[in-house]
Chain A
Amino acid sequence: MSLSKRLGKIMPAIVLSPSLAVVTLCVYGFMAYTALLSFTDSKMFARFDFVGWRQYGRLFESPRWIIAIENMAIFGTLYIVCATCLGLFIAILIDQRIRFEGVFRAVFLYPMALSFVVTGVIWQWLLNPGLGLEHMMRELGWTSFTFQWLIEPNRAIYTIVIAGVWQVTGFVMALFLAGLRGVDTEILRAARIDGAPIHKVYTRIIIPALRPAFLTVFVIEAHLAIKSYDLVVALTKGGPGVSTELPSTFMYSMTFTRNELAVGAASATVMLVTLASIIIPYLYSELRHEPTT
């Protein structure tokens, strides 16, 4: 009796400890290891000659890193703004008690089921001038049609935005739809009595009531944007040249192909800190107080 009782007490700890150990070592351990490496002068292999903040200095002097950050700003802003607006718009349309709502929801949500690599390949083909959209339009007879963003260094980053937005919009839509369904229908009737035209009902009443959904959507999009890697690799491989380099692809090539392990580690640490500065306040506010309605 007392043995089984004691066993019952420590059983959760026994069951959880392997995964806890793996997570501690492989996630937090290697995070710490990476952060540590960023203060060394490691090249191809890890070495522990500490050089202070020098690798961070080199990182921010590297034009390629600056391009990566600029691209991140363009990509992140457009990705978040477009996906949020489009997702909200589709959610509002679907919320109009349309027929076959389930079908539409599934159709818009489906891209989320694909991996980023598949999305990247699909859009690479679609946007490839010789294969996709441009080719199709010319076949249809519009011979002067050109759409070559994928191969123009100044435009290529926007193709990544297109593919990324296409993939995440359905998910954003689902989140907003859940929020819209939570709005009391009597509020809409009250707004009709108060004489509010439909656009005012949305801008003044419904969208402000979706504040918690906006916060969730923003955090999810922001972290997806910062860690996006596979999409770029599949779609443009960072090219043409380095024109679609993102911090994540920069980190990969520094660490594994250019023998600059410490610089790669420094860039990874910068990304980690950026992500943490977005997610920690969110978690803090979510866990602190329950949303009031």
Chain B
Amino acid sequence: MKMANLAINHINKSFGNLTVLKDIDIAIEDGEFLVLVGPSGCGKSTLLSIIAGLDDHTSGSITIDGKSVQGLEPKERDIAMVFQSYALYPAMTVEQNIGFSLEMSKMPKPERLERVGKVADLLQIRHLLKRRPGQLSGGQRQRVAMGRALVREPKIFLFDEPLSNLDAKLRVEMRTEIKKLHQRLGATIVYVTHDQIEAMTMATRIAVMKDGILQQFGTPEDIYDRPANVFVATFMGSPPMNLLPAVIVDGSQGLSIQGADAMLPVPFSAVTRAPQGKKVLLGIRPEWLSLASTSTYQPTLDLYVEVVEPTGPDIFVALRLGEREIMGRLPTGSRTRVGEKARFAVDLSKAVLFDAETGIAI
């Protein structure tokens, strides 16, 4: 399998006064799985179209395998794309659909059929080759769309929300399957989604976007544990990260939680970086809270348990601290009762601080 690195260099795109993409700068290595994630309208699909060469950009450049693809037609960029609606050709059989790009590049028929057959075996759709798209289920169409991309053996695969039209169960299955495919082929992939779980589970690199601006680019662990700003912190993860307004006190050593009579030390990551009196937001993911045992030496908060939601593997608990609501995630079997006050330990080695005014991580 061919591979290639991809660099998106300071891409801007605007229509008149409307800026769609602003100075997007991302680079990935051979064989990486880049997920572009963000709410709808954030420009992620536009960026994908620009990489594909289907849309123009205003300034900046795209390089694939070290070479600029400026002005090249999509077919000359050695890429393949899977579309949200699958975009299968309705009047062609599955076999013709998959083989169409090879036919267009004038590959002789025997060789073409062999390649199509190989891909069909890989995706387990050989029995569907003579059918037309109208006779296939959603999951089968999805496989055909992937087959059409795989058969070209491109340098880079582009996926535009390919799973959003599938039902929940199939979506999880296909997620695993695409990830397996990525591991097996070692291909470079750019994948667009609005689903943060898809992003976390599949990516080796995530780019979080909002309003045409790149918010953070990093590994899934970076994004999840060390979000660059409040938007990333709350967009990634479900339930989202808890944000508690606080003020730095005690010579930059302590946090006074606003709206509650509670104090915590400053998280390790922000020690010495936050001046006395600064207004901040303390970010705590639900699973960074745990029921405190008597031997706990972590700092604790006394929280009032309002709602308990068992999900099977975990229990979500809605907690109250003064006027603030906090979500916690506890392992099944934790002893909590609605209406009681319990002592929770906070993992300050993970907790993060954000500047309350700019929303940027400290």
Give the docked Cα–Cα distance between A200 and B84 (Å). Answer: 23
Beyond A186-B84, A205-B89, A209-B90, whether A193 also contacts B54 by CB under 8 A is yes
Mask: chain B, 46-87; 1 = CB below 8 Å from A; 0 = not: 000100101000000000000000000111000111011101
- Identify whether the interface residues of A are mostly helix, strand, loop, or mixed: helix
Closest residue on chain A to residue B82 by CB atoms:
A190
- Total A residues in contact with B, Cβ cutoff 8 Å: 20
| B104 close to A (CB within 8 Å) | yes
Mask: chain B, 80-114; 1 = CB below 8 Å from A; 0 = not: 11011101111110000000110011000000000
Give the docked Cα–Cα distance between A191 and B87 (Å). Answer: 9
| B135 close to A (CB within 8 Å) | yes
- Residues of the B chain whose Cβ atoms lie less than 8 Å from the Cβ of A200: 104
| A194 close to B (CB within 8 Å) | yes
Which listed residue, A187, A190, A197, touches B81 by the CB 8 Å rule?
A190
| B134 close to A (CB within 8 Å) | yes
- Asked whether A293 lies within 8 Å of B134 as measured between CB atoms, the reply is yes
Give the docked Cα–Cα distance between A184 and B165 (Å). Answer: 15
- Asked whether B52 lies within 8 Å of A193 as measured between CB atoms, the reply is yes
| A73 close to B (CB within 8 Å) | no
- Asked whether A193 lies within 8 Å of B80 as measured between CB atoms, the reply is yes
- Asked whether B89 lies within 8 Å of A187 as measured between CB atoms, the reply is yes
- Asked whether B105 lies within 8 Å of A193 as measured between CB atoms, the reply is no
Q: How far is the CB of B143 from chain A (nearest CB, A)?
A: 15
- Asked whether B85 lies within 8 Å of A184 as measured between CB atoms, the reply is yes
| A227 close to B (CB within 8 Å) | no
Q: Which of B130-180 contact A (CB under 8 A)?
A: 132, 134-135, 148
- Residues of the B chain whose Cβ atoms lie less than 8 Å from the Cβ of A191: 89
- Asked whether A195 lies within 8 Å of B91 as measured between CB atoms, the reply is no
Give the docked Cα–Cα distance between A197 and B74 (Å). Answer: 12
Q: How far is the CB of A202 from chain B (nearest CB, A)?
A: 12
- Asked whether A193 lies within 8 Å of B75 as measured between CB atoms, the reply is yes
Give the docked Cα–Cα distance between A208 and B91 (Å). Answer: 6
- Residues of the B chain whose Cβ atoms lie less than 8 Å from the Cβ of A189: 49, 54, 81, 83, 87
Q: How far is the CB of B138 from chain A (nearest CB, A)?
A: 14
Beyond A194-B101, A195-B101, whether A187 also contacts B87 by CB under 8 A is yes
Give the docked Cα–Cα distance between A292 and B88 (Å). Answer: 14
| A196 close to B (CB within 8 Å) | yes
- Asked whether B83 lies within 8 Å of A190 as measured between CB atoms, the reply is yes
Give the docked Cα–Cα distance between A205 and B84 (Å). Answer: 19
Give the docked Cα–Cα distance between A187 and B134 (Å). Answer: 14
Give the docked Cα–Cα distance between A258 and B100 (Å). Answer: 62
Give the docked Cα–Cα distance between A187 and B89 (Å). Answer: 7
Which listed residue, A184, A194, A208, A209, touches B100 by the CB 8 Å rule?
A194
Which listed residue, A186, A193, A204, A211, touches B79 by the CB 8 Å rule?
A193
- Asked whether B81 lies within 8 Å of A193 as measured between CB atoms, the reply is yes
Closest residue on chain B to residue A205 by CB atoms:
B89
- Asked whether A204 lies within 8 Å of B89 as measured between CB atoms, the reply is yes
- Asked whether A194 lies within 8 Å of B84 as measured between CB atoms, the reply is no
| A58 close to B (CB within 8 Å) | no
| A47 close to B (CB within 8 Å) | no
A-B residue pairs in contact (CB < 8 Å), sample of 22: A187-B87, A187-B88, A187-B89, A189-B81, A192-B54, A192-B73, A192-B74, A193-B75, A193-B79, A194-B101, A194-B104, A195-B75, A195-B101, A200-B104, A204-B89, A205-B89, A205-B91, A208-B89, A208-B90, A209-B89, A292-B134, A293-B90
Task: Report which B residues bind A (CB closer than 8 A).
Answer: 49, 52, 54, 73-75, 79-81, 83-85, 87-92, 100-101, 104-105, 132, 134-135, 148
Known: A190-B83, A193-B54, A194-B100. 18 other contacts (CB 8 A): A186-B87, A187-B88, A187-B89, A187-B90, A189-B49, A189-B83, A190-B87, A192-B73, A193-B75, A194-B75, A194-B104, A197-B104, A200-B104, A204-B100, A208-B89, A209-B90, A211-B91, A292-B132
